[in-house]
């Protein structure tokens, strides 16, 4: 709109009427003082402006219209210190005081123009001082985020309908990064990645505002992961324990039970004080609604937040979703609370980012992903940590989910995320279709935190179960080629089959810690050796009911102090043998 020639600043004044000599002189004095240079001012008649003027100098604009001053008032209202605890009696005087103290100022704002728009991407010129990740506002009110900085223009991703943005429309800076409202009132709600409620339960009064992108905690602020984050799934808690502050990847083909493991983990946090955040990326709205229904039915929605960027949403909304979930989690973590975040799933997140990058004309690399796709997920997952006691002792535990194609864990995105996380739970299609659910592959799954994230009772009870299963798998493959087996081998096979059947678990039915300990001690002591494999589930249910009725003090003690003494272990074996005799006699 203006430029500079021979050290003379050319400015343009848009107003409905020509300024008089006195007003003209005041404009020149203001500009000369501001820019310390000689000024040339041109008046351009604009009847669309009511009650003021717009003054353009290079990319800066001084908006002294009724609309501009109203926007200043609106922004000052947005800075009021209003929280969920602010009462209506306190709010009215606060607003009145803000209006009385408000004074519109002729602040310069950078303004640009839209060059092209389409597919949720805007290319604009101007705004030479804008920063990467900054929020900009178009004259239609739609917001966007700067995602690409070039020499002469910028690339912006839109958080709204691109039909409201047209070529030539104005765009202005906000000097703020993308953020999301946060607070206790978000618990039990379903929101979009911008923090807007989408569950039809009314507005949410926030306690604050956090940027969606923030640096990961430093080494000094962290402490080691040694507190269990129990999933309630026997095969995981016994062999691949997850700790608070850990990042454990759930990986497998489509429809192999990845989300089911995450939901069971959320259900198992009931009455533990752990808050949960479930981020749905690129899923059907019906699937998210079904999941929310399950959480409500099981009484888990009260401590859970669902952030949904459905498949119908644009790529920018899907791209920002996991960062918004992390920002909500950090609000609670920095208040000393433990948080569990599920990212379901990061494969679709990477695809959304690839779409954005290609539309922004960035150079494609392997599988057409941009070169910074590793940083996309590393900066997200590094925000998960267990904070030191000096800074509150809160934690964020992340369960990212990744979908593989035909079990290929060596593909680009899976290998990236495997290298970022602290272990993976690999779900195998063949096991799933064979009825082994959860279909955890014991050989390929691992937790790099290990026994540090197990209670002493669980560590002692699990014993050699992983080694026993590995021996069973090897023996099963070997005996496929042999028909004549000795008794020792037959017993080993029956024992292994019983263990595999024991690890089968119904969906949405997590086990408590004492139940897992009892089952593991009984199984590794070969108590179930004589129970037919098809009856293992029935025997398991009866055994647990027996202990709840006859040894309730033992159950409470294991849950309470997390310790399993030798006498407790002997008691479990003896009572399990006693129950087995009764069970087998009744079956006969």
- Closest C-alpha to 309, from 258, 276, 344, 341: 344
pLDDT digits (tens, 9 = 90+) for 209-259: 999 999 999 999 999 999 999 999 999 999 999 999 999 999 999 999 999
Is the pLDDT at 342 greater than 70? The verdict is: yes
- Closest C-alpha to 266, from 318, 231, 241, 227: 231
Q: Which two tokens stand for residue 185?
A: 């009132």
- Closest C-alpha to 345, from 258, 457, 420, 456: 258
For residue 1, what pLDDT is reported?
39
Is the pLDDT at 497 greater than 70? The verdict is: yes
For residue 70, what pLDDT is reported?
67
Q: Which two tokens stand for residue 576?
A: 């399990």
What is the sign of the dihedral through the CA atoms of 30, 31, 35 and 37?
negative
Check 448, 466, 473, 557 and give the catalytic one: 448
Strand segments, DSSP code E, in 356-512 are: 395-403, 423-427, 446-447
Q: How confident is the model at residue 280 (pLDDT cuts 50, 70, 90)?
A: very high
Instruction: Say if CB 374 and CB 382 are below 8 A apart.
Output: no
Mean pLDDT along residues 468-497:
80
Q: How far apart are CA 570 and CA 576, in angstroms?
A: 10
- 335 or 8: which leads in pLDDT: 335
- Name the pTM for this structure: 0.85
Instruction: Say if CB 281 and CB 258 are below 8 A apart.
Output: no
Helix (H, G, I), strand (E, B) or coil at 314: coil
The backbone torsions φ and ψ at residue 177, rounded to the nearest 5 degrees and listed phi first, read -85, 165
Judge whether 448 counts as a catalytic residue. yes
Is the pLDDT at 402 greater than 90? The verdict is: yes
For 100, how many CA atoms within 13 A lie in the half-sphere containing its CB? 6
Helix (H, G, I), strand (E, B) or coil at 419: helix
- 512 or 96: which leads in pLDDT: 512
- 535 or 42: which leads in pLDDT: 535
Give the strand pairing for 395-403 and 338-344: parallel
For residue 483, what pLDDT is reported?
64
For residue 79, what pLDDT is reported?
59
The listed range with the strongest mean pLDDT (59-73, 288-302, 459-473, 557-571) is 288-302
Q: Which two tokens stand for residue 43?
A: 């008046």
Q: How far apart are CA 522 and CA 498, in angstroms?
A: 12
Q: Cα 561 to the chain's mean position, in Å? A: 32
Rounded to whole angstroms, the maximal C-alpha distance in the chain is 112
pLDDT digits (tens, 9 = 90+) for 93-124: 655 665 555 444 555 567 889 999 988 899 99
Instruction: Say if CB 373 and CB 311 are below 8 A apart.
Output: no
Mean pLDDT along residues 10-28:
82
pLDDT digits (tens, 9 = 90+) for 404-451: 999 899 999 999 999 999 999 999 999 999 999 999 999 899 999 888
For residue 104, what pLDDT is reported?
45
What is the sign of the dihedral through the CA atoms of 387, 389, 392 and 393?
positive
Mean pLDDT along residues 28-52:
80
**Percent of the residues in the chain that have a pLDDT greater than 90, as a whole number:** 66
Instruction: Say if CB 330 and CB 214 are below 8 A apart.
Output: yes
- Closest C-alpha to 305, from 288, 289, 328: 328
Q: Bridge-partner residues for 367, per DSSP?
A: none
What's the first-to-final CA gap in the chain, in angstroms?
Answer: 94
Q: Between helices 88-101 and 66-78, what is the axis angle to 10°?
A: 140
Interacting residues of 285 by C-beta distance below 8 A, sequence separation 6+:
308, 310, 311, 312
């Amino acid at each position: 709109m203006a430029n500079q020639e021979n050290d003379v600043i050319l400015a343009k004044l848009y107003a409905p009427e020509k300024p008089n000599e006195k007003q003209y002189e005041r404009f020149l004095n203001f500009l000369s003082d501001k820019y310390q240079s000689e000024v040339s001012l041109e008046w351009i008649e604009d009847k669309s402006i009511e009650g003021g003027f717009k003054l353009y100098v290079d990319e800066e604009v001084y908006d002294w219209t009724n609309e501009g001053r109203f926007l200043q008032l609106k922004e000052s209202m947005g800075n009021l210190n209003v929280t969920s605890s602010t009462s209506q009696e306190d709010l009215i005087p606060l607003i009145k005081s803000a209006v009385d103290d408000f004074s519109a100022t002729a602040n310069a704002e950078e303004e640009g123009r839209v060059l092209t728009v389409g597919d949720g991407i805007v290319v604009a010129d101007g705004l030479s001082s804008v920063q990467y990740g900054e929020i900009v506002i178009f004259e239609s009110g739609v917001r966007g985020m700067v995602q690409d900085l070039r020499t002469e223009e910028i690339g912006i991703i839109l958080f709204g309908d691109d039909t409201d943005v047209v070529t030539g429309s104005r765009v202005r800076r906000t000097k703020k990064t993308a953020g999301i409202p946060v607070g206790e009132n978000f618990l039990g709600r379903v929101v979009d990645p911008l923090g807007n409620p989408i569950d039809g339960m009314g507005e949410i009064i926030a306690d604050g505002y956090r940027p969606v992108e923030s640096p990961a905690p430093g080494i000094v602020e962290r402490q080691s992961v040694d507190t269990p984050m129990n999933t309630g799934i026997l095969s995981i808690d016994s062999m691949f324990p997850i700790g608070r502050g850990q990042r454990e990847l759930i990986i497998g083909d489509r429809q192999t039970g990845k989300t089911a493991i995450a939901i069971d983990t959320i259900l198992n946090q009931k009455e533990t004080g752990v808050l949960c955040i479930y981020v749905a990326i690129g899923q059907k709205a019906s699937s998210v609604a079904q999941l929310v229904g399950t959480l409500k039915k099981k009484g888990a929605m009260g401590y859970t937040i669902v952030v949904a960027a459905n498949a119908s949403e644009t790529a920018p909304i899907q791209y920002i979703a996991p960062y918004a979930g992390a920002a909500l989690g950090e609000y609670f973590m920095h208040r000393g609370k433990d948080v569990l975040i599920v990212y379901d799933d990061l494969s679709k997140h990477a695809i959304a980012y690839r779409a954005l990058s290609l539309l922004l004309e960035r150079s494609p690399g392997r599988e057409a992903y941009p070169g910074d796709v590793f940083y996309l997920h590393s900066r997200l997952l590094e925000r998960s940590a267990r904070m030191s006691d000096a800074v509150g002792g809160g934690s964020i535990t992340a369960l990212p989910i990744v979908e593989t194609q035909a079990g290929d864990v060596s593909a680009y995105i899976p290998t990236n995320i495997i290298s970022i996380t602290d272990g993976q739970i690999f779900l195998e299609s063949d096991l799933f279709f064979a009825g082994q659910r959860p279909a955890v592959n014991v050989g390929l799954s691992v937790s790099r935190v290990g026994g540090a994230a197990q209670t002493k009772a669980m560590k002692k009870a699990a014993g050699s179960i992983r080694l026993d299963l590995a021996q069973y798998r090897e023996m099963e493959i070997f005996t496929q080629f042999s028909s004549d087996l000795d008794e020792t081998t037959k017993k080993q096979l029956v024992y292994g089959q019983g263990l595999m059947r024991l690890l089968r678990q119904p969906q949405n039915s997590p086990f408590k810690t004492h139940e897992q300990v009892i089952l593991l001690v009984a199984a590794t002591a070969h108590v179930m050796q004589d129970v037919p494999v098809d009856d293992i589930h029935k025997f398991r249910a009866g055994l647990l009911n027996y202990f709840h009725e006859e040894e309730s003090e033992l159950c409470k003690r294991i849950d309470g102090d997390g310790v399993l003494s030798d006498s407790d272990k002997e008691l479990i074996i003896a009572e399990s043998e006693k129950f087995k005799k009764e069970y087998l006699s009744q079956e006969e």
